[in-house]
Amino acid sequence: MTIFIQSLDYNLWDLIVDGQNLPTISLENGDVVSKPRNLYDDNDRERVQINAKAKHIIICAINSNDFNRISSCVSAKEMWDRLEVTYERTNQVKEAKVSFMSMKCLP
């Protein structure tokens, strides 16, 4: 899936790896908060759009069980990280089973 996403648009992959850079504004007191959507300029909309594209690609590539795991995620990075953890565990379990079975078969 990594190569597929990179081939579509490497900016999508960068966003998945590095995380979303949501538009923010600085308040008079120095606090930085999310920028209201009605104040977005074209650059802000493009940054939000690329996250939506990345999320769409991930959702289209997964099954319903995985969708249930990631449907509450806000960013593509969060989705990717959750899937990565899920499949690392799955692969570890498979490797453990293979090891156990090969030990069981030894005399």
pLDDT by position in tens, the chain (length 107): 888 899 998 989 999 999 888 888 999 999 999 899 999 999 999 989 999 999 999 999 899 989 999 999 989 999 999 998 888 766 555 555 555 445 455 44
Strands 24-26 and 32-34: antiparallel
What gap in Å lies between CA 10 and CA 71, rounded to an integer? 24
Token readout for 93 is: 């379990």
Beta strands in the chain (DSSP E): 24-26, 32-34
pTM to 2 decimal places: 0.71
Nearest 5°: CA angle at 84, between 11 and 69?
100
* CA–CA distance, 40 with 96 (Å, rounded to integer): 50
